Amino acid sequence: MNVDPLSAVSPLDGRYAGATEPLRAYTSEQALMGARLEVEVEYLVALAGLDATPVELTVADREALRRCYREFDVADARVIKQLETEGDESRPATNHDVKAVEYFLRDRLPDGVGGEWVHFGLTSEDVTNLAYRLLFGPAVETVLCPRLRALQDRLTAMAREHRDLPMLARTHGQPATPTTFGKELAVYASRLGRAMGALEQAVDGLTGKLAGASGSYAAHQAAYPAVDWPAFARRFVEGLGLDHEPLTTQINPADDLATLFDALQRVNNVLLDLALDAWLYVSDGYLGQAAADGETGSSTMPHKVNPIDFENAEGNLSKANSDLGFLGSYLTTSRLQRDLSDSTVKRNVGAAFAHCLLGYRKLEAGLEAVVPNERVMAEALESTPEVIGEAVQTILRREGHDDAYERVKKLTRGQEVTVADFRTLFEELPVSEEVRAELLALTPAGYTGVADRLVEDLE
């Protein structure tokens, strides 16, 4: 059924359908059907490779079977759905999504291959745990990671461009030692890089199981006791590009998925922090925004250019993290050897990924639309000369003044201080003329340490 986006239950398939479309190949029900079919086909091929089984497949047979999932399309998906919910001329409805995939494949077997070998000795979770991981890994790698790399590239470029642009820093929301705008963006680019490294490791660490109804290979062992089934399962799972999970119940315990979701949350936390700071910089006037022709900022205040991209990024990343936290916690628990509550929950992983994707796209758009307002940044520095107090007391400490901190604190803490106040202090200090000149040369805009050089640490 084709649903008009305007009538979709979820905004992910409604308002944001265009933005989330790249995830459909990995998180839709059709995608899951195709991945399950891939596992079933490759398992049948692997069985044919065992001397113990009578299954025989020619090269042409293997190619024909693999075309079943390589050319899998929406028409095929509809057939599987019909087998599940309605049945066909020869079978009643399965009311079981994996069994429907099994029957679909049985109907496409080469001559001479019996349907009894499809899904031989397997439980549904053997197929489904592998199918999901064949989808989730590529979804992160091919859809989410490119957007993250684009964000990191944008942050790195802006950091380098504005590496020496002085800006008032704020700690606890109060004026603090100045920094540069580029250095602050470099911090986010660096953090994002580390978080992405952990995310890539989590994708590489996805695991799969193929151990039967209770994780003991019982059915396989009963049928062919001479086969080393754990070794077979390892070869099969690793052949799919996953790490083998040897000790399981009926289900893969999903610790690997929890690690993946946690890594995504860490990425999102970095970007949430960035979105919040960018919003504050816009609010303070440090960042100006390009006004799009025809765009409305407020339905009543015509002058408004709202930081909506940063706000939308914040909302979507927060929703994503809420979902990811729930998924990581829920999917790692199961009653005894198996309960089915995780089945419906796993179908929502795509929604969590979609909110991630929306957050990344909105944040990227926000960064593309802002330009540092150098005048406002300079005025903020000029109006807060007290921030050089740290430099003053540190230089005086160097010169042996053990009351340096107290002197500057008395002048500046909770007071409105001017440059003239500092000059009066400098004239009264018992220091050499060389040191006095050093103090008089201090300015907020010039007190940024080696912030510009730190940007060079970005790779």
pLDDT in tens, 220-241: 999 999 999 999 999 999 999 9
DSSP state of 24: H
How far is CA 112 from its chain centroid? 47
pLDDT tens by residue, 201-211: 999 999 999 99
In angstroms, what is the C-alpha Rg of the chain?
Answer: 31
Residue 307: which pLDDT band, with cuts at 50, 70 and 90? Answer: confident
Count other C-beta atoms under 10 Å from residue 332's C-beta. Answer: 16
pLDDT of 410 higher than 90? no
pLDDT of 407 higher than 70? yes
CB 363 within 8 A of CB 395: no
- How many CA atoms are closer than 13 Å to the CA of 376, on its beta-carbon side? 12
- Site of tokens 């070998």: 117
Nearest alpha-carbon partner for 278 in 310, 308, 306: 310
Number of helical H runs and strand E runs in the chain:
21, 6
pLDDT recorded at residue 231 = 98
pLDDT of 187 higher than 70? yes
Using DSSP bridges, classify how beta strands 243-244 and 207-208 pair: parallel, antiparallel or unpaired: parallel
- Site of tokens 């802006």: 158
- Site of tokens 């795509």: 350
pLDDT of 398 higher than 50? yes
* CA atoms of 170 and 176, how far apart (whole Å): 5
Residue 414: which pLDDT band, with cuts at 50, 70 and 90? Answer: confident
Stated pTM of the model: 0.92
pLDDT recorded at residue 458 = 87
Cβ-proximal residues to 268 (8 Å cutoff; 6+ apart), any chain = 317, 320, 321, 324, 356, 359
* CA atoms of 456 and 458, how far apart (whole Å): 5
* CA atoms of 129 and 119, how far apart (whole Å): 14
CB 442 within 8 A of CB 388: yes
CA pseudo-torsion sign 261, 264, 266, 271: negative
CA distances from 356 to 20, 245, 325, 330 (A): 10, 28, 13, 19
pLDDT recorded at residue 305 = 56
298 assigned to active site: yes
Which of 7, 90, 172, 299 does the annotation list as catalytic? Answer: 172
CB 254 within 8 A of CB 342: yes
CB 452 within 8 A of CB 163: yes
Which of 10, 298, 329, 432 does the annotation list as catalytic? Answer: 298
Q: What's the mean pLDDT when you consider all of the chain?
A: 93
CB 93 within 8 A of CB 84: yes
pLDDT recorded at residue 413 = 77
Residue 298: which pLDDT band, with cuts at 50, 70 and 90? Answer: very low
What's the whole-number mean pLDDT along residues 305-318?
Answer: 91
Count other C-beta atoms under 10 Å from residue 343's C-beta. Answer: 13
pLDDT recorded at residue 417 = 85
* CA atoms of 375 and 378, how far apart (whole Å): 5
**Residue 177: burial class (beta carbons within 10 Å; 0-12, 13-18, 19+):** middle
pLDDT tens by residue, 93-115: 999 999 999 999 999 999 989 99
CA dihedral 216, 219, 222, 224 (to 10 degrees): -100
Residue 72 φ then ψ, to 5°: -60, 130
pLDDT of 270 higher than 50? yes
Strands (E), 249-398: 287-289, 370-372
Residue 340: which pLDDT band, with cuts at 50, 70 and 90? Answer: confident
Strands (E), 136-260: 166-171, 174-180, 207-208, 243-244
DSSP lists the bridge partners of residue 176 as 169
Residue 415: which pLDDT band, with cuts at 50, 70 and 90? Answer: confident
pLDDT tens by residue, 3-54: 788 888 898 988 999 999 999 999 999 999 999 999 999 999 999 999 999 9
* CA atoms of 385 and 425, how far apart (whole Å): 13
DSSP state of 9: S
Maximum Cα–Cα distance across the chain: 103
pLDDT of 292 higher than 60? no
CA distances from 313 to 20, 154, 199, 357 (A): 14, 16, 19, 9
Task: Please state which of the ranges 102-111, 127-136, 191-200, 293-302 shows the lowest mean pLDDT.
Answer: 293-302
Catalogue all structural domains in the chain, each as residue range(s) with its CATH number: 18-122 (1.10.275.10), 126-373 (1.20.200.10), 385-443 (1.10.40.30)
Percent of the chain residues past pLDDT 90, beyond the cut: 83
pLDDT tens by residue, 113-148: 999 999 999 999 999 999 999 999 999 999 999 999
